[in-house]
Amino acid sequence: MSKLFPEHILVLGAGPAGAASALGLKRLGYRVTLLGTVRDTHRIEGISKRVIESLNINGFVEAAECVSPPVPRYSYWNGEKHQANVEHIIQRETFDHGLLKDLEREGIDYRDCMIRHVENDSGKWKISVTSAGTEDLLVADFIVEARGRSAPLSNNQVRKGPASIALTATWRHSRVVTPHVVAASISNGWIWIVESGRGSTYVQLTVDSEDSTLPVKQEIAPFMLKHLEELESAGINSRQWQQPGNELARGSTSILVEDCVSDSFIRVGDAAMTADPLSGNGIFQSLSSALIAPAVVNTVLRRPDQRSMAISFFRDRIRHLYTRLARTGRDFYRLESRYHNEPFWKARCDWPDAEPTHLPEEIIGTEIRPVVCDGFIEERDVLITKDQPLGIWMIDGKPAVT
């Protein structure tokens, strides 16, 4: 058994949230060990320019190097075609290894292992891990839970959106096409297509996970092709695609864990809150929560009298973000009016509520609220607007309240 000191924090999960938390905590002077393993499944995701900026600003230069140049993004939604904006494409396995290279350069202790069991025994965390056939038990006073959607939900109060699943697969073809991305609606779901420009097409089909026609793994590709037929009128001709591979099913239900922080643990990234991929920016949101988490942990551990304020600050932020992203997703679903009677669309156009996503930037007043300041959560004067009820502390690097 390896005994760890109170100021030695274990971070569970080696994705963007685990990496950003580990780095932030190390910079605040903690000994950090990152536990986890990079998934070797083929997953393609799209990120925006601001994620690349955030990666570079926060020291994840190797990860930022794994990102593609911008590719145009088209949408076929509600029977209309638009060129929406651009996206940058990442292959998640490569990207996550990039994050680990950055952590290695920063001197963070990383242990490539499977986390088998985590329990709190009389205030101590006991984490059983295996690597290369060897078992070990680690003990810590504080853990950062960053195992994404794999983080156990038991004993946590959770809120969930409509149950969704994303089926993904790659096809080969011999057509000459420039790289691009397409997001398209179909009668019982939506499809995201990444055309690599090098003879391969990655497809992600999101449907309701309670759909009784969902296939077994071997039948994922034909099931997806059947749904892709609906896009022929939009010029997407999957009949020319061959040799399907890398079939995968990924849960994509929106989940909020209300109980995401205490005096001995914090959940960051997808482990705290996951949004419907349609509302986008999962990696950005994960990085964002992981970038404020170190200040929350620092306050909880080093300023016990401020502990409850730091805990409420983090919990309120995660809850606020979840609701906002849920409404953003709902607004995208509502832009599709052809299928509003179909069960998939009906459930998502009405969830989470009927409230507007954004309210006018009308100023309500000023209040003293917690903010992230010099590695701690501290109270400051902030500007409260209808749209930003948690308050705005800084605008362009200057205090919003003078």
Ligand X SMILES: Cc1cc2nc3c(=O)[nH]c(=O)nc-3n(C[C@H](O)[C@H](O)[C@H](O)COP(=O)(O)OP(=O)(O)OC[C@H]3O[C@@H](n4cnc5c(N)ncnc54)[C@H](O)[C@@H]3O)c2cc1C
Return residues touching ligand X (CB under 6 A).
13-18, 36-39, 45-47, 96, 114-115, 146-150, 166, 204, 250, 252, 269-271, 277, 281-284, 286
Inter-residue contact 369 to 379 (CB < 8 Å): yes
CB-nearer residue toward ligand X: 77 or 376: 77
Shortest distance (Å) from residue 290 CB to ligand X: 7
Shortest distance (Å) from residue 258 CB to ligand X: 17
CB-nearer residue toward ligand X: 281 or 299: 281
Please state, in angstroms and as integers, the Cα–Cα distance from residue 338 to each residue in 48, 74, 233, following that order. Answer: 29, 19, 15
Shortest distance (Å) from residue 202 CB to ligand X: 11
Shortest distance (Å) from residue 321 CB to ligand X: 12
Shortest distance (Å) from residue 395 CB to ligand X: 26
Shortest distance (Å) from residue 62 CB to ligand X: 16
Shortest distance (Å) from residue 45 CB to ligand X: 3
Query: Which residue in 324, 107, 84, 328 sits closest to 192, CA to CA?
Result: 84
CB-nearer residue toward ligand X: 318 or 384: 318
CB-nearer residue toward ligand X: 48 or 200: 48
CB-nearer residue toward ligand X: 238 or 286: 286
CB-nearer residue toward ligand X: 126 or 380: 126
Query: Which residue in 314, 284, 317, 322 sits closest to 298, CA to CA?
Result: 314
Structure tokens at 386: 């209808």
Query: Which residue in 154, 119, 123, 160 sits closest to 137, CA to CA?
Result: 119
Give the HSE-up count for residue 249: Cα atoms under 13 Å, Cβ half-sphere. 17
CB-nearer residue toward ligand X: 193 or 383: 193
Amino acid identity at 74: Y
